[in-house]
Amino acid sequence: MKRVIIYSPDFSLCYSLLVFLQNHYKIVVTTDFELLNSFPFDSKNDAVFIDHEPNPQLVLTCEKIKAENPEVPVFLTYVYTNRTSQSENKIKSFVNEIFYKPFDLNEISLKLTYILEHPHILNDNFR
């Protein structure tokens, strides 16, 4: 079973995603950004789901994830605002998919499943 790391400062979102995805994936959930940064992003982790507004610290985190394991898909969710556009432009090269809130859990599940079942798509998009 594939492992998905989920980070959000919002416990209720973490819980919702856990409940929604737990039958298909091993789920690791945290609300602690420092803990997210301490995870090894090796081949044991198949995807990373981050719910956080783009900022310079998040850009560095996503860059670290891709440096440790370029093949791990990274999903980002947040509420889009004009003030986040600069950081979003910087982070786009390190994330595979951005979902703007409010988002559809079914869409996230379908996209996650598709990318995990078709890793060559991921690799082709990031070459």
CATH number of the domain that 110 lies in?
3.40.50.2300
Domain range enclosing 51: 3-125
Q: Please tell me the least confidently modeled range out of 30-39, 66-75, 109-118.
A: 109-118
Does the pLDDT at position 26 exceed 50? Answer: yes
> Measured between alpha carbons, how far is 50 from 73 in angstroms, rounded to an integer?
11
Does the pLDDT at position 127 exceed 80? Answer: no
Mean pLDDT, residues 75-94: 84
- Terminus-to-terminus CA distance in the chain, angstroms? 27
Position 79 confidence tier, pLDDT thresholds 50, 70, 90: confident
Q: Residue 48 — φ and ψ, nearest 5°?
A: -130, 130
What pTM was computed for the model? Answer: 0.86
How many domains does the chain contain in total?
1
Mean pLDDT, residues 60-71: 93
